[in-house]
Amino acid sequence: MGNSLEGKVAIVTGSGQGVGRGIAIFLAREGAKVVTNNRKPKTNDTITVNESFKSIGLKGNAEFDLEEEKKIMKMRGDAESTASEIRLEGGKATAFYGDVSDYEVAGKLVQTAIDTYGRLDIVINNAAGLGFGPFVQTTESDWDYQTQTKLKGAYNLMSHAVPVMIKQGYGRILNSASDAWTGIANLSAYSAANAGIVGLTKATAKELDRFGITVNAYCPQAASPGHMSFNATLKTMMEENGIKADPNDKRVETSEKEHGPAENLAPFLAYLCTVNAKYVNGAVFTVTGGGRISLYAEPIITNEIRKDMEPWSVEELIDQVPRTLLKDYTSIASQREF
């Protein structure tokens, strides 16, 4: 076990299984006291895989073979099972059950950390509501589920935690986004939630830097029940729509290599939580279980056209836009995932 986070207290939401579990365990190995969290205790192990996925917002219509089912069920856990594993390794951890999309519940989670360990240094907003499907099939409840847990949940935790961190003069907040924040077909609600996370991260980083608080976003790729269900659901949906996978397409193979053990992506997140990373603020990273760490460029204006004190006419724009403003432009709508 390391000591880079010795004396620090962390909350990791959505840490009952998958990515959040790996993060919580690694932070504890680096010396942090951790409050683990997920919505509710795990049910008995006889629950079916698809019933399990329905509980996290997925449709439950994916097809799995026996080995996949065994692997998924082995991954399942809850806040207490993660906390227990930390304690077995000699660390300190407390489990808290509750849905962080509820403002009052989020406040109780923050208060639990303070009451139990006396302070709060690190918040990892990792909880998410998953979903997949065409926009025209996205219901209001799908939209709410996929945006509230992630985006409203992050706001709720930060709303309660930031005043504490300001008083301490120190804080590290990591918001889980996804590469979907750039916009991925058939992930409209999830993409919207993650784009909101990026905006929230950058805005608050600019506000809170003077208080010794950093706010960064990470887009994780690692082994988890959600990842396995996503792949299986995608495969099923493609088959139902007569879309055949290209056997020469190496993206699936590459993706599986990136989705290594969740503990593999945690060291970089732990680094961002140290005093050494105080200069890193408002950044967005992709971090994978396969060892890749990528930094997204900052959004910038790449081109513009201007007329002083008078509007453009449509005729002028028809002439000017293709030749100047949108020269070398390619529509992202042509970049379909499948």
Q: Which of 5-14, 46-55, 183-192, 296-305 has the lowest mean pLDDT?
A: 46-55
Q: Which of 11, 18, 68, 82 is nearest to 261 (CA)?
A: 18
User: At residue 130, what is the residue type?
Assistant: L
Catalytic pick among 190, 271, 279, 296 = 190
Domain ranges (residues) in the chain: 9-295
**Residue 72 confidence class, pLDDT cut points 50, 70, 90:** low
The distance between the two most distant Cα atoms of the chain, rounded to a whole number of Å, is 72
pLDDT in the model for residue 48 = 47
User: At residue 2, what is the residue type?
Assistant: G
Check if the beta carbon of residue 224 is closer than 8 Å to that of residue 289.
Answer: no
Run of H or E including 226: helix 225-240
For residues 93 and 103, what is the distance between their CA atoms, to the nearest angstrom?
23
For residues 189 and 186, what is the distance between their CA atoms, to the nearest angstrom?
9
**Residue 132 confidence class, pLDDT cut points 50, 70, 90:** confident
Does 67 have pLDDT greater than 60?
Answer: no
Task: For residue 98, give every residue at least 6 positions away whose Cβ sits within 8 Å of its Cβ, in sequence order, or none.
Answer: 37, 39, 105, 106, 108, 109
Q: Where are the beta strands (DSSP E) in 144-263?
A: 171-176, 213-221
Kindly state the tokens that stand for 136: 């025209």
For residues 111 and 160, what is the distance between their CA atoms, to the nearest angstrom?
9
Q: Which of 239, 240, 199, 229 is nearest to 217 (CA)?
A: 199
For residues 220 and 197, what is the distance between their CA atoms, to the nearest angstrom?
13
Average pLDDT over residues 69-87: 78
pLDDT in the model for residue 130 = 83
Angle, CA 285 vertex, CA 158 and CA 252 arms, to 5°: 120
β-pair partners for 124: 12, 174
Does 232 have pLDDT greater than 80?
Answer: no
In angstroms, the Cα distances linking 161 to 26, 124, 218 are 22, 11, 19
Query: What is the third-level CATH fold of 9-295?
Result: Rossmann fold (3.40.50)
Does 225 have pLDDT greater than 90?
Answer: no
- Which percentage of the chain shows pLDDT scores above 90? 67
Q: Collapsing DSSP states into helix, strand and coil, what is residue 289?
A: coil
For residues 105 and 113, what is the distance between their CA atoms, to the nearest angstrom?
13
In angstroms, the Cα distances linking 285 to 12, 106, 174, 281, 330 are 18, 25, 11, 11, 25
pLDDT in the model for residue 275 = 96
Given the DSSP bridges, would you call strands 9-12 and 33-38 parallel, antiparallel or unpaired?
parallel
Catalytic residue check, 190: yes
Counting Cβ atoms within 10 Å, is residue 189 exposed (0-12), middle (13-18) or buried (19+)? Answer: buried
Q: Collapsing DSSP states into helix, strand and coil, what is residue 313?
A: coil
For residues 164 and 212, what is the distance between their CA atoms, to the nearest angstrom?
12
pLDDT in the model for residue 246 = 56
User: Is the pTM value of this prediction over 0.95?
Assistant: no
pLDDT in tens, 194-211: 999 999 999 999 999 999
For residues 21 and 80, what is the distance between their CA atoms, to the nearest angstrom?
11
